[in-house]
A and B are shown apart, each in its own frame.
Chain A
């Protein structure tokens, strides 16, 4: 049967199998690994994860939908997640969000037409002493201000996203 997940997925999972007393415990690692392949989790990949774990697809969706980091819809190549929780809020996160929406011409939660940027609001990232902060894909960008955020967005617009 053809599968939407690469050999690498199965190789990575194989390495982890002996670390857990049962296969179901691999659901979170498997979803992380599957998401690396497309940047999000298409229905077919959820089905492939379900087949690999040996549970019904609904069970995988039930788990995936609980966690905010699993994207059940496509996201842009660069996913900017601005923390707007207390510590960042006290340090101007709302202004940053307003600026990003204007700059990217989208609202929070949307993706730009060219598919380059998705903008989200994030709960506390654990970067409170370097607030305000955001995640840009897997990286933290800390001690932000509008100038720094503007420069970051410009850099991505010009140079694209390193994969």
Chain B
């Protein structure tokens, strides 16, 4: 399990991995709990809060990296309908388990973030949509919310202000696509978690057809820090333009010390993360490849890891930071089999609304099956890439692109491995 390795300036990690830290008393005493919310509710206007978050360069931590302050500013100021803030705690991108640590060890940080965010956009009832498998985390959140109600940090007239807020934890039931914000909103409304046609975007018509902001757990948990230290100071923590604060990284696969770590945004290269935080390669084997941002991120070869680990540098080399889930792969790994596993996942999770994704994912899966069984011809490899290219950009949501990216990048960068199966040089073991 992860060990606490707090570097200077880290915000979260020093509070993780100890069960007693989740208590309200710890949050109040050791983390200046609810002080930021108190100041916001009594001294600042909603617009001032949004401006501060904009200055912080807080990028959404769920995967798309959209600036949180900007998202909040899209919520109409005047609305006859209620407005909603929905926390996306679906954390289902393969490789990702950072939000789980926030909910387990610092649930009040998330609650305070929701209080501040709700005030900023004018929401009276916020929802935390948590993936169904996180049974324990949902229970812990419920307990923390009850604590907060009991002490007046939630409910009517929070901390002597005129602001009221309720928070409800809503459990999902096992569907990757509910991490997509409009799929999530449908699921919250008691429907199948199928993504919606956009526009309208959630900011104008989201939960229950009302203006809605959907933010990731880590994004919201950063809000109290921003309001305590100022947006400018938070932005300065980032070592790279446009990225403020720190990033929680889920480091898994073939490293000596897998774990959740925290780095200054843009403060380390991928190689440094693997070496210095992960303790190097498991069994001192050679590095073969890295999936740098959850299973949807195009794969990198061992030669491509001297890249600053942040949004733009990764984009520049054709991949993405996504949910900051790094999966490290050593030399003994069969990448054809691994790609088959990834593709099977997307085929299983495709909601089925869009033909390119529904049919394409299954088609790619069956082509890869054929390859592994030694029944494929060389043109099947080109067909595989062609199918992938015909999914990308042609679907309602990003799942289609997420399924296509790995296929295209695996074949492009590790083509000989696929050819070995086709030529019969390699057999399924």
The size of the chain B interface, using a CB distance under 8 A, is: 59
When A and B form their complex, what is the total count of cross-chain residue pairs whose Cβ atoms lie within 8 Å? 144
Query: In the complex, are the beta carbons of B341 and A123 less than 8 A apart?
Result: no
CA distance A3 to B91 in the complex (A): 36
Closest to A128 in B: B252
C-alpha spacing A25/B338, complex, angstroms? 38
Asked if B258 contacts A130 (CB within 8 A), the reply is: yes
Q: Which of A25, A66, A68, A138 is packed against the most chain B CB atoms within 10 Å? A: A66
List residues 161-218 of chain B with CB under 8 A from any CB of chain A: 166, 168, 170-176, 187-194, 208
A124 touches B190 (CB 8 A): no
A129 CA / B254 CA spacing, docked (Å): 10
Whether B187 lies near A127 (C-beta < 8 A) is: no
Tell me the minimal C-beta distance from A52 to chain B in angstroms: 12
**How distant is the Cα of A130 from the Cα of B104 in the complex, in angstroms?**
15
| Shortest distance from the beta carbon of A7 to any chain B beta carbon, whole Å | 22
Selected contact of B327 from candidates A26, A27, A62, A86, CB within 8 Å: A86
Q: Which residues of B contact A32 (CB under 8 A)?
A: 132, 171, 173
For residue B240, give the distance in angstroms from its CB to the closest CB of chain A: 25
> Does chain A have a CB within 8 A of B95?
yes
Q: B188 contacts which chain A residues (CB < 8 A)?
A: 25
Assess whether B13 is interfacial by the CB under 8 Å rule.
no
Shortest distance between the CB of B126 and any CB in chain A (Å): 11
Chain A residues with a Cβ closer than 8 Å to the other chain, count: 43
Q: Is the CB of A87 within 8 A of B327?
A: yes
Contact of B342 among A24, A86, A135 (CB under 8 A): A86
Stretch at the interface among B133-141, B229-237, B306-314, B412-420: B133-141
Which residues on A sit within 8 Å (CB–CB) of B172?
28, 67
Other A-B pairs beyond A126-B100, A135-B133, 4, CB < 8 Å? A67-B132, A86-B338, A128-B250, A129-B258
Which B residues have a C-beta under 8 Å from some C-beta of A?
A: 1-2, 82, 91-97, 99-100, 125, 131-136, 166, 168, 170-176, 187-194, 208, 250-254, 258-260, 291, 295, 325, 327-329, 333, 338, 341-342, 345, 348-349, 351
